[in-house]
Amino acid sequence: MLDSIMSKLNILAEGAKYDISCSSSGSSRKQIKGGLGNAKMCGICHSFTSDGRCISLLKTLMSNDCSFDCLYCGCRRSNDIERASFTPKEICELTVNFYKRNYIEGLFLSSAVEKNPEYTMQKLVDTVIMLRKDYNFNGYIHLKGIPSAPYELILKGAAHADRMSFNIELPSEQSLKLLAPQKNKDGIVRPMQSLAQIYIGQGRKKVLIPAGQTTQMIIGASPESDGQIIRLTQALYNNYRLKRVYYSSYIPVNTGNSLLPQQKSNLIREHRLYQADWLLRFYGFSAQELIAQGENFSEEFDPKCWWAIKNYHNFPVEINKAPLEMLLRVPGIGAVSAYKIVNARKFAVLDFEDLKKMRVTLKRAQHFITCKGKFIGVNTSETAVKGALLYGGDRAKQLSFFDNDTAVSVISGQL
């Protein structure tokens, strides 16, 4: 029996690997008497290998036997691949066995659309209920929602999961119609909207999905610009209270379709979107300030640096006087340093040495600030600042983390 489960797991864990919407959760729950496991505040990651090495989440599909035919997906109906489906009991057995062996701390459970959305969602919900009630599993569960599944089922899932996610996948309705014809915007967005209304749970006895909801977008399978994508991200955070939006660079798993790029997309693009996302959430930027609707982010400069270069007329700012909102916009001053500066200057007038101690990246910040009225950067023009940032004496650059074929040098350091 275990052998057959393990062979299914080989197939279904492979199918789940492209879903990245399940990293650290923020959910925290202690072990309870008679229960098994707990959910930790951080460190819940999303990798799993079938040889059982210690990776925090068991990440698998319930089934890869999809009735849908999304053009970009390896599990699509028209692909000739080995198909497999777990039963709810098999998932429970696997989860508990792996948990007891200390391989995992929780479960990330997704699925292809087996038969139809209702059938699949019912199986997912049956699984998490069985895991919670029959197996007393108190560990972390991230449950994937199936678009267009009935609301009652989604709600039941939310009552037993720590986190739920419905994947947007494609950043526009038009691309969804073209590349994922059985899906529709309403079927994805409506459940997100409903979860946004229920999950916060303040004042409720039982908090539904305490780790909130997330989503994922594929970058580069369709023609949407970074400007469109980051506006969509902003709307998702504002309207549906998402915890995270994840960006996944397109990888061509199905070749030969003229509607899809034949090359994987550039990882630097994904990286820039994550940086911009960070600026929306922690630095007070709006999508509109960062980039025009039809544009893509610069490969050379991170989005904050690019914004500062374009708005160079607003700089330099005096570190001892500038409001927090402006400090947050200085390249090289991260959010933590900005708050430290605001606190420290209540007691002393700060100079460049103080900033270094606060871990400000002066190599970059120096072009945008003064300390006690003194300026040490390059201030002749926007072009000179660009040059200084890219090719300055300190060469404030780092090598790319990415594959050689997409490798580019990027400015790094604090945003």
Q: How far is the CB of 267 from ligand SF4 (least distance, A)?
A: 21
The structure tokens listed for 247 are 């960006």
Which stretch in 65-73, 247-255, 274-282, 336-344 sits in contact with ligand SF4 by CB under 6 A?
65-73
Cα distances from 14 to residues 64, 174, 383, in angstroms, run 10, 29, 48
Residue with tokens 């300055």: 392
Query: Do residues 303 and 290 lie in contact, with contact meaning Cβ atoms separated by under 8 Å?
Result: yes
Name which of 181 and 223 has its Cβ closer to ligand SF4.
181
11 near ligand SF4, judged by CB under 6 A: no
Among 73, 245, 279, 341, binds ligand SF4 (CB under 6 A): 73
Name which of 90 and 114 has its Cβ closer to ligand SF4.
114
Which stretch in 33-41, 73-81, 99-107, 360-368 sits in contact with ligand SF4 by CB under 6 A?
73-81
Q: Dihedral sign for Cα 350, 373, 304, 300, please.
A: negative
Within 10 A of 21 (CB to CB), how many other CB atoms are there?
Answer: 24
113 near ligand SF4, judged by CB under 6 A: yes
Query: Cα dihedral angle (265, 268, 272, 277), rounded to 10 degrees?
Result: 60
188 near ligand SF4, judged by CB under 6 A: no
260 near ligand SF4, judged by CB under 6 A: no
66 near ligand SF4, judged by CB under 6 A: yes
The residue count for binding ligand SF4 (CB under 6 A) is 9
Query: Do residues 200 and 241 lie in contact, with contact meaning Cβ atoms separated by under 8 Å?
Result: yes
Name which of 153 and 388 has its Cβ closer to ligand SF4.
153
Q: How far is the CB of 245 from ligand SF4 (least distance, A)?
A: 18
Of 265, 249, 304, 298, the residue nearest 410 (C-alpha): 298
Of 15, 19, 23, the residue nearest 42 (C-alpha): 23
Query: Do residues 163 and 39 lie in contact, with contact meaning Cβ atoms separated by under 8 Å?
Result: no
Which stretch in 69-77, 184-192, 345-353, 371-379 sits in contact with ligand SF4 by CB under 6 A?
69-77
* DSSP-derived secondary structure letter, 313: G
Among 58, 75, 107, 170, binds ligand SF4 (CB under 6 A): 75
User: Mask: binding to ligand SF4, 155-184, rule CB under 6 A, as x and -?
Assistant: -------------------------x----
Among 20, 23, 68, 296, binds ligand SF4 (CB under 6 A): 68
Which stretch in 70-78, 200-208, 308-316, 379-387 sits in contact with ligand SF4 by CB under 6 A?
70-78
Q: How far is the CB of 176 from ligand SF4 (least distance, A)?
A: 11
Long-range contacts of 381-386 (CB under 8 A, 24+ apart): 382/309, 382/310, 382/312, 385/309, 385/312, 386/301, 386/309
Largest CA distance in the chain: 74
Query: Do residues 32 and 124 lie in contact, with contact meaning Cβ atoms separated by under 8 Å?
Result: no
Name which of 253 and 390 has its Cβ closer to ligand SF4.
253
Name which of 19 and 126 has its Cβ closer to ligand SF4.
19
Phi, psi for residue 10 in degrees, rounded to 5? -55, -40
Among 29, 76, 132, 304, binds ligand SF4 (CB under 6 A): 76
Question: Which residues sit at the interface with ligand SF4, rule CB under 6 A?
Answer: 66, 68, 70, 73, 75-76, 112-113, 180
